[in-house]
Structures are given as C-alpha cells and as structure tokens.
C-alpha cells in the first residue's frame, strides 16, 4: 500500500500549479456525548495521500521553483497523553505506512509557524480541499483569507476528485477484498435465516462476522430488513419483534459493506424463507426480472455509458415487465412506471466512501460517460407494494477498456447462489 500513497502524492504534486502550498488535514473526532467521541474516520483525501488514520495530523505539499516538498505534522510520544488516550505510533511507523521520509515528519506544534510562513510567502498560493467535511480546512481557509485575497486561494477538490475516480489495480484489489469479507459474512448468517429469527439477531451476527474478518468500521449502516420492512430502503435499525420477526414464505434483504484498508465493499443479497405454497410465487416472479436487469447491466456497463443511460435501460426493461403483469397500462409513461416501482438509481461510484465522491462531482455527473478504472456498485431493484415483494441484488465492478470486471462474486447475469433458506 505504501507505494499507492507515494504515487498519489506524486500525481497530486504533478497536477498542482507552480507556486502552490497545499494544506490537507486528517480531521478531528466528533463528540458523541459529554465524555466520549464517535469512532474516528479520517478524512478520505488525507487517507488517500498518506494511508494514515489518526486524528489531528496535517500534510503540507509545496511546489515552488520546480521543486516539490512534503511535510507531515504529527504527535510525538507523550507518556501522559498516551496513558489516557492510547499509544501513538512513532515517526518511523508513520514513515513506513505513508512513505514520507522520516526527516519530513515534524511535531504538530511546529505547524503553526510553518503554515504562517507559507501563507505570507507572495510566491506561493495557498490551496485547500473544499470537499473535506472536517473543520480544520475551513478554519485554515478562513485564516488564509485574512492574509491573502480570495483570488490567491486555490481549491484542489476537483484535482483530487478526478484522481480518485480512476482506481489503480491496488485499489481495485482492496475493494475486491472488502466485497469478499462482506460476502463471507453474509454466507455465515445464511444458516440463521429461518422462520422466527429476528432482524436484530441476523444484524448482530452479520456485523460480528465482518468485524472478525478485519472490518472494524463498516462502509455504511448495515441493513437487514424482512418482508415489508424492505420497502424502507435504508432500514438500518433492525427490529426484534413485529415486522422484524422472519415469517415463513417471506424474504430477507441484506445490504452490507465491509471496509478493507480504507476501501468499501457494497453487497446486497436476498434470501427467501421457505418455498411457499403459491404456484405463482411473486418472489420468484420478481427474481426473474432482477436476473434480467442484472444481465443487462453487466452486458452494457462499459466506457461511454452513463448513470442516466444505465437507469434508462433498466426502466425500459422494467416497464415491459410491469405491463406484462398488469401493474401498469399501455398508455402509462416509462418515467411514471419507474417512479412508482424502480425507486433508486441503479449504480454509484465506489471507493474510499460507499457513494464515492458523490458530494464532490459536478451536478451533471450522472450524464458523464464512464471511463476505464471507475469502480461501481451495481444494484438494480424493483419494489411492488401490491405484491408485498421488493428487493435488490448488488455487486461491485471495475470498468475495463471494453466492459466491466466483477470485483465481487456475483455471476454476470445470474443470481448468486444464496436464495432459499
């Protein structure tokens, strides 16, 4: 991984204008209660450039007179602080992870003086990451505004976004591993899914199975929904009674994602509970449609397609299915039918976040053509309240020069093996 972080910094420096000092921050924990914080997740661009996951760190990259330099500011050992808040890696360990030379790692209390000197240097333009959700970049951007004019200050959000869209082979492998952990965890709970078990029981076991495989922070809130709870797409509070009790003849939707080395998997599977007695089992009828939709996805995802183009393809296939089964009339418009039964987008970017870069991309990004190196989660799903059945099946892919490569185990066009319980 260290080569990935070295290369990411090099590529960023290559793209920075001459005469730039870029300030990138790890961020700070968010307070959860009077005496505790939420578990810390480092700023994703800081991780992308350093591989470090500690709060309070800062990276400064300078490009001046054709020379590039980097400084990492971190906390040195402090016996008293570590006694109460846990041990800190030494500068050698930080160097080994990030690939930043140990001579370029400084104590955090030196950053104020160095930052001020860089902000005052008329030959340098300060640059910040406008996509960061952390407080420190905004705070420093404000301080810079008191020294420099707004025209002097750069936002490197677009540079970092363009870099992160294209995944390297190393990054694809991390997503593949995250998907594998997720699928192994889902397979481990399969035997539990019987009538009378609860969403809460399955949820607890699923998260345990991901954790024991090395995913301590999940890609998103784990979803286990039974029957009509599946019509709440982000049903991330599992129930212990009522609709949360798994019934014979029903189904269970699982949507979960592990992280591995910072990268996310995003997998959805559906389990049918019991075989049912109705010859026209609506679960099976809908499963046939989802299979057709998945096959069309994997056959058509390639460079040049767009998210909106993929959605249109899914809507057209779904429209014909709905007509065939009397759920809509010939005169109904495709868009109306899609809005009624096809509730969410078919795909999204995947990477260091589960909806990677969604807040950093241009507003029209759904019309931007796919390019080789993009990693996507692909999740066609249809929800039919009249039948009491609705679900999605999701796998992860990387776009190649002429198509897409599955990063998870789902077969192209075929439903993954896990169906009946």
Q: To which H or E segment does residue 60 belong?
A: strand 58-64
What's the DSSP call for residue 147?
A: T
**194-231 pLDDT tens trace:** 999 999 999 999 999 999 999 999 999 999 999 999 99
Structural domains in the chain plus CATH codes: 2-164 (3.40.350.10), 166-406 (3.90.230.10)
pLDDT band at 331 (very low <50, low <70, confident <90, very high): confident
Residue 326: closest CA among 337, 342, 312 = 337
Whether residue 360 contacts residue 320, with contact meaning beta carbons closer than 8 Å, is answered with: no
% of the chain exceeding 90 in pLDDT: 86
Which residue do the tokens 């905004």 mark?
138
Q: Is the pLDDT confidence value at 30 over 70?
A: yes
pLDDT given for residue 381 in this prediction: 97
The Cα–Cα gap between 311 and 343 comes to 11
Whether residue 421 contacts residue 307, with contact meaning beta carbons closer than 8 Å, is answered with: no
pLDDT given for residue 419 in this prediction: 52
Q: Specify the pTM.
A: 0.94
């Amino acid at each position: 991984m260290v080569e990935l972080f070295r290369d990411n910094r090099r590529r960023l420096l290559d793209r920075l204008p001459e005469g730039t000092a870029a300030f990138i921050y790890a961020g700070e924990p968010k307070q959860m209660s009077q005496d505790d914080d939420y578990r810390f997740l480092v700023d994703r661009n800081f991780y992308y450039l350093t591989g470090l996951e500690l709060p309070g760190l800062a990276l400064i990259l300078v490009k001046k007179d054709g020379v590039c330099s980097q400084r990492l500011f971190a906390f040195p050992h402090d016996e008293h602080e570590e006694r109460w808040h846990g041990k800190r890696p030494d500068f050698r360990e930080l160097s080994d992870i990030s690939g930043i030379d140990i001579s370029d790692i400084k104590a955090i209390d030196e950053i104020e003086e160095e930052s001020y000197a860089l902000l005052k240097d008329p030959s340098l333009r300060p640059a910040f990451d406008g996509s960061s959700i952390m407080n420190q970049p905004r705070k420093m951007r404000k301080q810079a505004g008191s020294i420099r004019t707004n025209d002097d200050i750069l936002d490197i959000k677009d540079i970092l976004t363009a870099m992160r869209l294209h995944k390297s082979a190393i990054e694809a492998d991390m997503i593949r591993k995250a998907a594998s952990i997720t699928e192994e965890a889902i397979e481990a709970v399969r035997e539990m899914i019987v009538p009378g078990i609860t969403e809460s029981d399955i949820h607890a076991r699923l998260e345990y199975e991901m954790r024991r495989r090395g995913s301590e922070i999940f890609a998103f809130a784990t979803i286990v929904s039974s029957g009509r709870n599946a019509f709440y797409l982000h049903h991330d509070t599992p129930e212990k009674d009522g609709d949360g009790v798994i019934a014979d003849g029903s189904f269970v939707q699982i949507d979960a994602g592990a992280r591995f080395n910072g990268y996310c998997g995003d997998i959805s599977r559906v389990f049918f509970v019991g075989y049912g007695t109705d010859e026209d089992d609506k679960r099976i009828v809908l499963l046939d449609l989802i299979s057709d939709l998945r096959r069309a996805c994997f056959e058509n995802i390639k460079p040049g397609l767009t998210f909106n183009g993929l959605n249109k393809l899914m809507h057209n296939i779904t429209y014909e299915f709905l007509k065939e089964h009397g759920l809509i009339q010939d005169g109904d418009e495709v868009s109306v039918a899609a809005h009624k039964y096809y509730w969410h987008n078919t795909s999204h970017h995947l990477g260091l976040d589960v909806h990677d870069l969604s807040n950093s991309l241009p507003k029209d990004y759904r019309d931007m053509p796919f390019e080789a190196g993009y990693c996507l989660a692909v999740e066609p799903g249809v929800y039919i309240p009249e039948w009491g059945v609705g679900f999605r099946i999701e796998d992860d892919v990387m776009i190649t020069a002429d198509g897409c490569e599955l990063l998870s185990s789902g077969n192209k066009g075929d439903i993954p093996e896990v169906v009946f319980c």
